[in-house]
Amino acid sequence: MAKKSRLQAPQGMHDVLGEDQPYFKRIWDAVNEIAHFYAFSKIDTPIAEYSELYEKGTGLTTDIVEKQMYAFKTKGGDALALRPEFTPGIVRAFIQHGMFSWPQPVKLYTYGPLFRYEHPQAGRYRQFNQFDFEVFGEQAAAIDAQVIQIFYTILKELKFGHLVVEVNSIGDYQCRPYYKKVLVNFLRPRQYSLCADCRRRIKENPLRVLDCKEEKCQRVKSQAPQVIDHLCEECKTHFKSLLEFLDEADLPYHLDPYLVRGLDYYTKTVFEIFSEGSIQQDQEGSQTVQRSALVGGGRYDALVRLMGGKDIPAVGAAAGVERIIALMKEKQLPAAEEPAPKVFLAQLGDLPKKKSLKLLEELRKAKINIAEALGRDSLRTQLARADKLEVAYTLILGQREVLDNTIVIRKMDTGEQETVKMEKVVEALKQRLRKS
RNA sequence: GAGGCUAUGGUGUAAUGGCAGCACAACACCCUGUGGAGGUGUCAGUACGGGUUCAAAUCCCGUUAGUCUCCCCA
Protein backbone atom coordinates (compact mmCIF):
# COMPACT_ATOMS: atom_id res chain seq x y z
CA MET A 1 0.00 0.00 0.00
CA ALA A 2 1.45 3.28 -1.06
CA LYS A 3 1.52 5.75 1.72
CA LYS A 4 -0.59 8.77 1.01
CA SER A 5 0.88 11.45 3.15
CA ARG A 6 0.19 14.42 0.91
CA LEU A 7 -1.52 17.21 2.68
CA GLN A 8 -4.71 16.87 0.75
CA ALA A 9 -8.21 15.56 1.12
CA PRO A 10 -8.69 11.87 0.28
CA GLN A 11 -9.64 10.99 -3.26
CA GLY A 12 -13.19 11.84 -4.15
CA MET A 13 -13.68 13.87 -0.97
CA HIS A 14 -13.38 17.59 -0.76
CA ASP A 15 -13.67 20.68 1.37
CA VAL A 16 -16.69 22.85 0.88
CA LEU A 17 -15.37 26.39 1.06
CA GLY A 18 -17.26 29.60 1.65
CA GLU A 19 -18.11 30.21 -1.98
CA ASP A 20 -20.03 26.93 -2.24
CA GLN A 21 -21.80 27.15 1.09
CA PRO A 22 -24.63 29.34 -0.23
CA TYR A 23 -25.60 26.58 -2.65
CA PHE A 24 -25.89 24.04 0.12
CA LYS A 25 -27.77 26.52 2.26
CA ARG A 26 -30.20 27.23 -0.52
CA ILE A 27 -30.89 23.53 -0.95
CA TRP A 28 -31.21 22.75 2.76
CA ASP A 29 -33.55 25.70 3.17
CA ALA A 30 -35.78 24.50 0.35
CA VAL A 31 -35.76 20.93 1.67
CA ASN A 32 -36.62 21.98 5.21
CA GLU A 33 -39.37 24.30 4.10
CA ILE A 34 -41.08 21.76 1.90
CA ALA A 35 -40.60 18.94 4.40
CA HIS A 36 -42.25 21.11 7.01
CA PHE A 37 -45.15 21.93 4.75
CA TYR A 38 -45.80 18.27 3.94
CA ALA A 39 -45.47 17.31 7.63
CA PHE A 40 -42.32 15.24 7.34
CA SER A 41 -40.25 15.07 10.48
CA LYS A 42 -36.52 15.10 10.40
CA ILE A 43 -34.54 12.06 11.36
CA ASP A 44 -30.77 11.86 11.65
CA THR A 45 -29.35 8.38 11.65
CA PRO A 46 -25.73 7.45 12.37
CA ILE A 47 -23.22 7.87 9.61
CA ALA A 48 -22.22 4.22 10.10
CA GLU A 49 -24.34 1.12 10.61
CA TYR A 50 -23.65 -2.58 10.92
CA SER A 51 -22.55 -3.77 7.47
CA GLU A 52 -25.15 -6.47 7.67
CA LEU A 53 -27.88 -3.86 7.45
CA TYR A 54 -26.86 -2.92 3.93
CA GLU A 55 -26.10 -6.46 2.88
CA LYS A 56 -29.61 -7.40 3.81
CA GLY A 57 -31.38 -4.21 2.85
CA THR A 58 -29.64 -2.74 -0.15
CA GLY A 59 -28.75 -6.20 -1.38
CA LEU A 60 -25.58 -8.23 -1.28
CA THR A 61 -25.30 -8.45 -5.03
CA THR A 62 -25.70 -4.77 -5.74
CA ASP A 63 -22.58 -2.93 -6.74
CA ILE A 64 -23.12 -0.50 -3.93
CA VAL A 65 -22.69 -3.16 -1.31
CA GLU A 66 -20.45 -5.54 -3.16
CA LYS A 67 -17.84 -3.11 -4.37
CA GLN A 68 -18.48 0.37 -3.09
CA MET A 69 -19.00 0.15 0.62
CA TYR A 70 -16.59 1.64 3.12
CA ALA A 71 -16.66 -1.33 5.47
CA PHE A 72 -14.41 -1.68 8.49
CA LYS A 73 -14.03 -3.51 11.76
CA THR A 74 -14.07 -1.69 15.06
CA LYS A 75 -11.61 -2.50 17.84
CA GLY A 76 -14.38 -4.43 19.46
CA GLY A 77 -14.76 -6.54 16.35
CA ASP A 78 -18.02 -5.08 15.03
CA ALA A 79 -18.36 -4.98 11.27
CA LEU A 80 -19.54 -1.49 10.39
CA ALA A 81 -19.98 0.37 7.14
CA LEU A 82 -20.22 4.05 6.31
CA ARG A 83 -23.69 4.51 4.94
CA PRO A 84 -23.82 4.25 1.14
CA GLU A 85 -27.50 5.23 1.09
CA PHE A 86 -30.13 6.35 3.56
CA THR A 87 -33.01 3.93 3.26
CA PRO A 88 -31.72 0.92 5.23
CA GLY A 89 -30.69 3.11 8.17
CA ILE A 90 -34.06 4.76 8.26
CA VAL A 91 -35.87 1.44 8.00
CA ARG A 92 -33.73 0.18 10.88
CA ALA A 93 -34.71 3.21 12.97
CA PHE A 94 -38.34 2.68 12.01
CA ILE A 95 -38.24 -0.87 13.32
CA GLN A 96 -36.02 -0.17 16.33
CA HIS A 97 -38.28 2.58 17.63
CA GLY A 98 -41.51 0.73 16.96
CA MET A 99 -42.77 3.36 14.54
CA PHE A 100 -45.32 0.89 13.21
CA SER A 101 -47.35 1.85 16.25
CA TRP A 102 -47.15 5.56 15.51
CA PRO A 103 -50.02 7.16 13.63
CA GLN A 104 -49.58 6.04 10.03
CA PRO A 105 -48.23 7.07 7.66
CA VAL A 106 -44.87 7.91 9.20
CA LYS A 107 -43.16 10.55 7.10
CA LEU A 108 -39.46 11.05 7.59
CA TYR A 109 -36.81 13.09 5.85
CA THR A 110 -33.10 13.56 6.25
CA TYR A 111 -30.03 14.86 4.52
CA GLY A 112 -26.29 14.54 4.91
CA PRO A 113 -23.20 12.76 3.67
CA LEU A 114 -23.09 9.30 2.13
CA PHE A 115 -20.04 7.29 1.16
CA ARG A 116 -19.34 5.11 -1.82
CA TYR A 117 -15.92 3.88 -2.81
CA GLU A 118 -15.81 4.39 -6.54
CA HIS A 119 -14.00 6.30 -9.24
CA PRO A 120 -14.77 9.98 -8.92
CA GLN A 121 -15.89 11.78 -12.06
CA ALA A 122 -18.33 14.47 -13.04
CA GLY A 123 -21.06 14.67 -10.39
CA ARG A 124 -19.74 11.64 -8.58
CA TYR A 125 -17.79 11.67 -5.35
CA ARG A 126 -16.80 9.24 -2.66
CA GLN A 127 -18.33 11.44 -0.02
CA PHE A 128 -21.42 13.18 -1.28
CA ASN A 129 -24.68 14.53 0.03
CA GLN A 130 -28.24 13.54 -0.59
CA PHE A 131 -31.57 14.58 0.76
CA ASP A 132 -34.06 11.84 1.29
CA PHE A 133 -37.79 11.49 1.95
CA GLU A 134 -39.46 8.28 3.09
CA VAL A 135 -43.11 7.44 3.81
CA PHE A 136 -44.00 4.31 5.77
CA GLY A 137 -47.34 2.61 6.24
CA GLU A 138 -49.24 3.77 3.20
CA GLN A 139 -49.75 1.70 0.11
CA ALA A 140 -51.93 4.05 -1.92
CA ALA A 141 -50.37 5.30 -5.13
CA ALA A 142 -51.31 8.81 -4.03
CA ILE A 143 -48.33 8.70 -1.71
CA ASP A 144 -45.99 7.63 -4.50
CA ALA A 145 -47.25 10.62 -6.42
CA GLN A 146 -46.76 12.86 -3.45
CA VAL A 147 -43.16 11.79 -2.98
CA ILE A 148 -42.52 12.51 -6.66
CA GLN A 149 -44.25 15.83 -6.30
CA ILE A 150 -42.13 16.78 -3.31
CA PHE A 151 -38.88 16.24 -5.16
CA TYR A 152 -40.24 17.94 -8.22
CA THR A 153 -41.29 20.91 -6.12
CA ILE A 154 -37.94 21.21 -4.39
CA LEU A 155 -36.18 21.33 -7.75
CA LYS A 156 -38.70 23.90 -8.95
CA GLU A 157 -38.05 25.95 -5.81
CA LEU A 158 -34.40 25.91 -6.80
CA LYS A 159 -35.51 27.37 -10.14
CA PHE A 160 -34.83 24.39 -12.33
CA GLY A 161 -36.61 24.78 -15.63
CA HIS A 162 -37.25 21.70 -17.70
CA LEU A 163 -37.69 18.72 -15.45
CA VAL A 164 -38.75 15.32 -16.60
CA VAL A 165 -40.03 12.59 -14.35
CA GLU A 166 -39.39 9.13 -15.69
CA VAL A 167 -41.66 6.51 -14.13
CA ASN A 168 -42.16 2.81 -14.44
CA SER A 169 -43.44 -0.11 -12.44
CA ILE A 170 -41.23 -3.13 -11.97
CA GLY A 171 -43.87 -5.26 -10.34
CA ASP A 172 -43.72 -6.98 -7.00
CA TYR A 173 -42.60 -10.32 -5.66
CA GLN A 174 -45.61 -11.95 -7.26
CA CYS A 175 -45.28 -10.83 -10.85
CA ARG A 176 -41.64 -9.87 -11.25
CA PRO A 177 -40.19 -13.39 -11.08
CA TYR A 178 -42.54 -14.36 -13.86
CA TYR A 179 -41.56 -11.36 -15.97
CA LYS A 180 -37.89 -12.12 -15.37
CA LYS A 181 -38.42 -15.55 -16.87
CA VAL A 182 -40.18 -14.10 -19.88
CA LEU A 183 -37.38 -11.60 -20.34
CA VAL A 184 -34.63 -14.18 -20.01
CA ASN A 185 -36.39 -16.41 -22.50
CA PHE A 186 -36.44 -13.49 -24.88
CA LEU A 187 -32.84 -12.47 -24.29
CA ARG A 188 -31.11 -15.82 -24.27
CA PRO A 189 -31.55 -16.60 -27.99
CA ARG A 190 -30.40 -13.08 -28.76
CA GLN A 191 -27.48 -12.89 -26.37
CA TYR A 192 -24.91 -12.67 -29.15
CA SER A 193 -26.47 -9.41 -30.27
CA LEU A 194 -25.81 -7.97 -26.84
CA CYS A 195 -22.70 -6.42 -25.33
CA ALA A 196 -20.51 -8.54 -23.08
CA ASP A 197 -21.85 -6.91 -19.94
CA CYS A 198 -25.40 -7.64 -20.89
CA ARG A 199 -24.61 -11.26 -21.60
CA ARG A 200 -23.40 -11.42 -18.03
CA ARG A 201 -26.47 -9.57 -16.80
CA ILE A 202 -28.83 -12.11 -18.28
CA LYS A 203 -27.74 -14.40 -15.51
CA GLU A 204 -27.16 -11.94 -12.72
CA ASN A 205 -29.80 -9.28 -13.13
CA PRO A 206 -31.68 -9.46 -16.43
CA LEU A 207 -33.70 -6.33 -15.73
CA ARG A 208 -30.57 -4.23 -15.99
CA VAL A 209 -30.15 -5.16 -19.64
CA LEU A 210 -33.02 -2.76 -20.23
CA ASP A 211 -30.92 -0.01 -18.76
CA CYS A 212 -27.91 -0.52 -21.04
CA LYS A 213 -26.81 2.39 -23.17
CA GLU A 214 -24.99 0.33 -25.81
CA GLU A 215 -26.57 0.84 -29.18
CA LYS A 216 -26.84 -2.82 -30.06
CA CYS A 217 -28.50 -3.57 -26.75
CA GLN A 218 -30.91 -0.73 -27.34
CA ARG A 219 -31.93 -2.37 -30.56
CA VAL A 220 -32.60 -5.67 -28.85
CA LYS A 221 -34.43 -4.14 -25.97
CA SER A 222 -36.80 -2.21 -28.19
CA GLN A 223 -38.23 -5.60 -29.18
CA ALA A 224 -38.16 -6.93 -25.64
CA PRO A 225 -41.26 -7.70 -23.63
CA GLN A 226 -42.06 -4.88 -21.24
CA VAL A 227 -42.62 -5.20 -17.52
CA ILE A 228 -45.82 -3.22 -17.54
CA ASP A 229 -47.42 -5.80 -19.82
CA HIS A 230 -46.67 -8.51 -17.30
CA LEU A 231 -47.79 -6.88 -14.08
CA CYS A 232 -50.22 -8.67 -11.82
CA GLU A 233 -53.62 -7.08 -11.30
CA GLU A 234 -52.61 -5.40 -8.08
CA CYS A 235 -49.49 -3.82 -9.54
CA LYS A 236 -51.31 -2.77 -12.68
CA THR A 237 -54.02 -1.03 -10.72
CA HIS A 238 -51.47 0.67 -8.53
CA PHE A 239 -49.50 1.92 -11.51
CA LYS A 240 -52.59 3.18 -13.30
CA SER A 241 -53.62 4.99 -10.21
CA LEU A 242 -50.17 6.57 -9.90
CA LEU A 243 -50.32 7.89 -13.44
CA GLU A 244 -53.73 9.39 -12.77
CA PHE A 245 -52.40 11.21 -9.76
CA LEU A 246 -49.42 12.49 -11.73
CA ASP A 247 -51.76 13.77 -14.43
CA GLU A 248 -53.91 15.43 -11.83
CA ALA A 249 -50.91 17.08 -10.20
CA ASP A 250 -49.70 18.43 -13.55
CA LEU A 251 -46.37 16.69 -13.19
CA PRO A 252 -44.73 16.28 -16.59
CA TYR A 253 -43.90 12.62 -16.51
CA HIS A 254 -42.72 10.19 -19.10
CA LEU A 255 -43.42 6.51 -18.91
CA ASP A 256 -40.13 4.74 -19.48
CA PRO A 257 -40.86 1.02 -19.75
CA TYR A 258 -37.14 0.32 -19.52
CA LEU A 259 -36.49 2.19 -16.30
CA VAL A 260 -35.25 -0.25 -13.69
CA ARG A 261 -33.14 0.58 -10.71
CA GLY A 262 -30.00 -0.84 -9.23
CA LEU A 263 -31.21 -1.64 -5.75
CA ASP A 264 -32.82 -4.92 -4.91
CA TYR A 265 -35.64 -3.76 -2.72
CA TYR A 266 -37.82 -1.81 -5.10
CA THR A 267 -41.32 -2.99 -5.90
CA LYS A 268 -43.97 -1.46 -8.11
CA THR A 269 -43.18 2.21 -8.60
CA VAL A 270 -39.70 3.33 -9.62
CA PHE A 271 -38.88 6.81 -10.82
CA GLU A 272 -36.08 9.20 -11.61
CA ILE A 273 -36.11 12.93 -12.20
CA PHE A 274 -33.86 14.54 -14.78
CA SER A 275 -33.12 18.08 -15.67
CA GLU A 276 -32.72 18.92 -19.32
CA GLY A 277 -29.04 18.15 -19.54
CA SER A 278 -26.08 19.99 -20.87
CA ILE A 279 -25.13 19.40 -24.45
CA GLN A 280 -21.62 18.12 -24.99
CA GLN A 281 -19.63 17.71 -28.14
CA ASP A 282 -17.61 14.58 -28.52
CA GLN A 283 -14.57 14.16 -30.75
CA GLU A 284 -16.53 13.52 -33.92
CA GLY A 285 -18.46 16.68 -33.27
CA SER A 286 -21.73 14.89 -32.71
CA GLN A 287 -23.79 16.13 -29.82
CA THR A 288 -24.89 14.00 -26.97
CA VAL A 289 -27.18 15.19 -24.27
CA GLN A 290 -25.81 14.48 -20.84
CA ARG A 291 -28.55 13.38 -18.54
CA SER A 292 -27.67 12.31 -15.10
CA ALA A 293 -30.46 11.57 -12.72
CA LEU A 294 -30.87 14.16 -9.99
CA VAL A 295 -33.40 12.11 -8.06
CA GLY A 296 -34.07 8.42 -7.84
CA GLY A 297 -36.51 6.42 -5.80
CA GLY A 298 -39.44 4.12 -5.64
CA ARG A 299 -41.64 1.90 -3.56
CA TYR A 300 -40.26 -0.84 -1.33
CA ASP A 301 -43.19 -2.65 0.17
CA ALA A 302 -41.27 -5.71 1.28
CA LEU A 303 -38.18 -4.13 2.80
CA VAL A 304 -39.42 -3.44 6.31
CA ARG A 305 -40.50 -7.02 6.69
CA LEU A 306 -37.36 -8.33 5.06
CA MET A 307 -35.28 -6.48 7.62
CA GLY A 308 -37.20 -7.94 10.49
CA GLY A 309 -40.12 -5.60 10.99
CA LYS A 310 -43.79 -5.91 10.31
CA ASP A 311 -45.37 -5.93 6.91
CA ILE A 312 -45.24 -2.20 6.30
CA PRO A 313 -45.38 -0.75 2.80
CA ALA A 314 -43.11 2.20 2.09
CA VAL A 315 -41.99 4.56 -0.61
CA GLY A 316 -39.07 6.95 -0.75
CA ALA A 317 -36.51 8.73 -2.85
CA ALA A 318 -33.26 10.64 -2.62
CA ALA A 319 -31.59 13.42 -4.56
CA GLY A 320 -27.91 14.04 -5.16
CA VAL A 321 -26.95 17.42 -3.82
CA GLU A 322 -23.59 17.83 -5.56
CA ARG A 323 -25.19 17.05 -8.89
CA ILE A 324 -27.88 19.59 -8.24
CA ILE A 325 -25.27 22.19 -7.32
CA ALA A 326 -23.23 21.44 -10.44
CA LEU A 327 -26.32 22.03 -12.56
CA MET A 328 -27.29 25.14 -10.62
CA LYS A 329 -23.89 26.59 -11.41
CA GLU A 330 -24.09 25.57 -15.04
CA LYS A 331 -27.50 27.10 -15.43
CA GLN A 332 -26.55 30.06 -13.25
CA LEU A 333 -29.37 29.48 -10.83
CA PRO A 334 -29.22 31.62 -7.69
CA ALA A 335 -27.63 30.38 -4.50
CA ALA A 336 -28.66 31.61 -1.07
CA GLU A 337 -27.87 35.23 -0.51
CA GLU A 338 -25.56 36.03 2.33
CA PRO A 339 -26.43 39.45 3.68
CA ALA A 340 -23.31 41.56 3.40
CA PRO A 341 -22.52 43.91 6.25
CA LYS A 342 -23.48 47.51 5.59
CA VAL A 343 -21.47 48.97 8.45
CA PHE A 344 -17.80 48.85 9.35
CA LEU A 345 -16.27 49.65 12.71
CA ALA A 346 -12.88 51.33 12.64
CA GLN A 347 -11.01 51.89 15.87
CA LEU A 348 -7.82 53.68 16.69
CA GLY A 349 -5.69 52.81 19.62
CA ASP A 350 -5.90 50.64 22.69
CA LEU A 351 -8.76 52.21 24.56
CA PRO A 352 -11.10 52.38 21.54
CA LYS A 353 -10.21 48.83 20.65
CA LYS A 354 -11.29 47.69 24.09
CA LYS A 355 -14.56 49.55 23.78
CA SER A 356 -15.11 48.04 20.36
CA LEU A 357 -15.81 44.54 21.63
CA LYS A 358 -18.71 45.74 23.69
CA LEU A 359 -20.03 47.92 20.92
CA LEU A 360 -19.91 45.04 18.43
CA GLU A 361 -21.96 42.93 20.78
CA GLU A 362 -24.55 45.68 21.13
CA LEU A 363 -24.82 45.91 17.38
CA ARG A 364 -25.21 42.18 17.10
CA LYS A 365 -28.09 42.28 19.55
CA ALA A 366 -29.65 45.03 17.48
CA LYS A 367 -29.19 42.74 14.45
CA ILE A 368 -26.96 45.17 12.65
CA ASN A 369 -24.48 43.21 10.60
CA ILE A 370 -21.11 44.82 11.04
CA ALA A 371 -17.59 44.17 9.81
CA GLU A 372 -14.38 45.17 11.57
CA ALA A 373 -10.65 44.76 11.45
CA LEU A 374 -9.55 44.75 15.06
CA GLY A 375 -6.17 43.48 13.98
CA ARG A 376 -5.48 46.65 12.03
CA ASP A 377 -4.48 49.90 13.65
CA SER A 378 -4.19 52.51 10.94
CA LEU A 379 -7.38 54.30 10.07
CA ARG A 380 -6.29 54.47 6.46
CA THR A 381 -6.09 50.72 6.19
CA GLN A 382 -9.36 50.22 7.96
CA LEU A 383 -11.16 52.64 5.69
CA ALA A 384 -9.63 50.97 2.67
CA ARG A 385 -11.03 47.70 3.86
CA ALA A 386 -14.41 49.23 4.58
CA ASP A 387 -14.37 50.55 1.06
CA LYS A 388 -13.55 47.17 -0.39
CA LEU A 389 -16.48 45.67 1.53
CA GLU A 390 -18.72 48.35 0.02
CA VAL A 391 -20.33 49.22 3.33
CA ALA A 392 -22.66 52.19 3.49
CA TYR A 393 -21.36 53.54 6.79
CA THR A 394 -18.21 53.36 8.83
CA LEU A 395 -18.16 53.98 12.56
CA ILE A 396 -14.97 55.65 13.70
CA LEU A 397 -14.02 55.25 17.33
CA GLY A 398 -10.80 57.00 18.38
CA GLN A 399 -9.32 58.29 21.62
CA ARG A 400 -11.18 61.61 21.35
CA GLU A 401 -14.51 59.92 20.87
CA VAL A 402 -14.03 57.50 23.71
CA LEU A 403 -13.18 60.38 26.06
CA ASP A 404 -16.22 62.36 24.92
CA ASN A 405 -18.38 59.24 24.94
CA THR A 406 -19.25 59.78 21.29
CA ILE A 407 -18.61 58.08 17.98
CA VAL A 408 -18.28 59.26 14.38
CA ILE A 409 -20.60 57.94 11.68
CA ARG A 410 -19.11 58.35 8.22
CA LYS A 411 -21.31 57.99 5.17
CA MET A 412 -19.05 56.26 2.69
CA ASP A 413 -20.39 57.47 -0.64
CA THR A 414 -20.39 61.16 0.23
CA GLY A 415 -17.79 61.27 2.98
CA GLU A 416 -20.13 63.20 5.28
CA GLN A 417 -19.38 62.65 8.93
CA GLU A 418 -21.47 63.17 12.00
CA THR A 419 -20.61 62.75 15.64
CA VAL A 420 -23.27 61.14 17.79
CA LYS A 421 -23.52 60.21 21.43
CA MET A 422 -22.35 56.68 22.13
CA GLU A 423 -25.69 55.59 23.59
CA LYS A 424 -27.50 56.84 20.50
CA VAL A 425 -25.35 55.04 17.96
CA VAL A 426 -27.53 51.94 17.54
CA GLU A 427 -30.63 54.03 16.99
CA ALA A 428 -28.82 56.41 14.65
CA LEU A 429 -27.53 53.53 12.54
CA LYS A 430 -30.92 51.86 12.39
CA GLN A 431 -32.45 55.08 11.15
CA ARG A 432 -29.85 55.53 8.45
CA LEU A 433 -29.99 51.93 7.28
CA ARG A 434 -33.75 52.10 7.05
CA LYS A 435 -33.51 55.14 4.79
CA SER A 436 -31.08 53.58 2.34
C1' G B 1 -12.01 -2.73 -11.68
C1' A B 2 -10.40 -0.69 -17.06
C1' G B 3 -8.96 3.41 -20.14
C1' G B 4 -7.97 8.74 -22.26
C1' C B 5 -6.33 13.74 -21.09
C1' U B 6 -4.10 17.07 -17.50
C1' A B 7 -0.77 19.09 -13.28
C1' U B 8 4.00 26.04 -12.92
C1' G B 9 3.23 31.09 -6.46
C1' G B 10 -3.26 31.71 -2.97
C1' U B 11 -5.75 32.46 -8.14
C1' G B 12 -5.12 32.96 -13.55
C1' U B 13 -1.32 32.33 -16.93
C1' A B 14 3.95 32.52 -19.81
C1' A B 15 8.85 30.14 -20.74
C1' U B 16 12.39 26.35 -29.52
C1' G B 17 15.87 20.98 -23.50
C1' G B 18 19.54 26.62 -21.70
C1' C B 19 18.57 32.88 -16.09
C1' A B 20 11.16 30.19 -13.94
C1' G B 21 8.44 35.53 -15.87
C1' C B 22 3.69 38.36 -15.91
C1' A B 23 -1.19 39.73 -13.94
C1' C B 24 -4.57 39.59 -9.94
C1' A B 25 -4.88 38.72 -4.71
C1' A B 26 -2.48 39.32 0.08
C1' C B 27 0.84 42.25 3.17
C1' A B 28 3.94 46.74 4.13
C1' C B 29 5.33 51.63 2.90
C1' C B 30 4.89 56.45 0.16
C1' C B 31 0.41 58.86 3.50
C1' U B 32 1.20 58.82 12.42
C1' G B 33 -7.05 60.45 12.94
C1' U B 34 -9.77 59.57 7.06
C1' G B 35 -11.12 54.96 1.70
C1' G B 36 -11.66 54.56 -3.77
C1' A B 37 -6.34 56.50 -7.99
C1' G B 38 -1.16 56.01 -8.45
C1' G B 39 3.80 54.44 -7.11
C1' U B 40 7.57 51.39 -4.38
C1' G B 41 8.61 47.01 -1.98
C1' U B 42 7.55 42.11 0.36
C1' C B 43 5.44 37.23 0.39
C1' A B 44 4.98 33.05 -2.78
C1' G B 45 5.69 28.29 -7.63
C1' U B 46 7.56 23.87 -11.65
C1' A B 47 2.33 18.02 -7.37
C1' C B 48 5.62 13.82 -5.44
C1' G B 49 9.66 10.09 -6.53
C1' G B 50 13.02 8.24 -9.90
C1' G B 51 15.54 8.27 -14.87
C1' U B 52 17.85 10.42 -19.63
C1' U B 53 21.15 14.82 -20.39
C1' C B 54 26.76 19.12 -19.85
C1' A B 55 21.82 21.13 -18.87
C1' A B 56 14.76 19.20 -17.46
C1' A B 57 8.91 23.05 -15.87
C1' U B 58 9.90 20.97 -20.79
C1' C B 59 11.78 14.17 -22.71
C1' C B 60 10.89 8.99 -20.26
C1' C B 61 8.97 5.80 -16.08
C1' G B 62 6.31 5.40 -11.52
C1' U B 63 3.10 7.65 -7.67
C1' U B 64 -0.62 11.07 -6.22
C1' A B 65 -4.53 14.23 -7.45
C1' G B 66 -7.92 16.52 -10.94
C1' U B 67 -10.94 15.71 -15.23
C1' C B 68 -13.53 12.65 -18.62
C1' U B 69 -15.28 7.69 -20.62
C1' C B 70 -16.71 2.52 -19.53
C1' C B 71 -18.92 0.05 -15.25
C1' C B 72 -22.42 1.57 -11.72
C1' C B 73 -25.13 5.24 -9.52
C1' A B 74 -27.51 10.50 -6.77
Q: What is the pLDDT of residues A386-407, one digit of tens each?
A: 999 999 999 999 999 999 999 9
Nucleic acid strand B within 7 Å of A381 CB: yes
Q: Which of A129-143, A200-214, A351-365 shows the lowest per-residue confidence on average (mean pLDDT)?
A: A200-214
Q: Are residues A268 and A160 in the same domain?
A: yes
Of the three residues A302, A330, A358, the one that is the final residue of a domain is A330
Whether residue A363 is contained in a domain is answered as yes
Q: Are residues A355 and A316 in the same domain?
A: no
pLDDT digits (tens, 9 = 90+) for A13-60: 888 888 889 999 999 999 999 999 999 999 999 999 999 999 999 888
pLDDT digits (tens, 9 = 90+) for A376-386: 889 999 999 99
Q: Which of A163, A140, A156 is nearest to A34 (CA)?
A: A156
For position A436, what pLDDT does the model report?
65
Q: Are residues A147 and A269 in the same domain?
A: yes
pLDDT at A434 over 50: yes
pLDDT digits (tens, 9 = 90+) for A253-276: 999 888 888 787 899 999 999 887
Q: For residue A249, what pLDDT band results from cuts at 50, 70 and 90?
A: very high
Q: Kindly report the pTM of this predicted structure.
A: 0.88
For position A146, what pLDDT does the model report?
96
Q: Which long-range contacts (CB under 8 A, 24 or more apart) does A155-161 make?
A: A155/A273, A155/A275, A155/A294, A155/A295, A155/A319, A155/A324, A157/A30, A157/A33, A157/A34, A158/A26, A158/A27, A158/A30, A158/A324, A158/A328, A158/A333, A159/A333, A159/A334, A160/A275, A160/A327, A160/A331, A160/A333, A161/A275, A161/A276, A161/A331
Single-letter residue type at A428: A
Whether residue A40 is contained in a domain is answered as yes
Q: Are residues A415 and A295 in the same domain?
A: no
How long is the CA A121 to C1' B68 vector, in angstroms?
7
Q: Which domain holds residue A430?
A: 343-435
Q: For residue A64, what pLDDT band results from cuts at 50, 70 and 90?
A: confident
Q: Are residues A279 and A362 in the same domain?
A: no
pLDDT digits (tens, 9 = 90+) for A85-99: 999 999 999 999 999
Q: For residue A62, what pLDDT band results from cuts at 50, 70 and 90?
A: confident
Nucleic acid strand B within 7 Å of A203 CB: no
Q: For residue A233, what pLDDT band results from cuts at 50, 70 and 90?
A: very high
Closest-lying nucleotide for A62 based on CA to C1': B72
Q: Are residues A164 and A270 in the same domain?
A: yes
How long is the CA A26 to C1' B40 vector, in angstroms?
45
For position A329, what pLDDT does the model report?
87
CATH number at residue A284: 3.30.930.10
Whole-angstrom Cα distance, residue A172 to residue A268?
A: 6
Q: Give the pairing of strands A71-73 and A79-82.
A: antiparallel
ipTM of the complex: 0.84
For position A412, what pLDDT does the model report?
94
Of the three residues A330, A362, A392, the one that is the final residue of a domain is A330
Whole-angstrom Cα distance, residue A140 to residue A142?
A: 5
Q: Which of A96, A130, A114, A109 is nearest to A47 (CA)?
A: A114
Nucleic acid strand B within 7 Å of A399 CB: yes
Q: Are residues A265 and A121 in the same domain?
A: yes
Whether residue A317 is contained in a domain is answered as yes
Nucleotide B73's nearest residue (CA vs C1') is A262
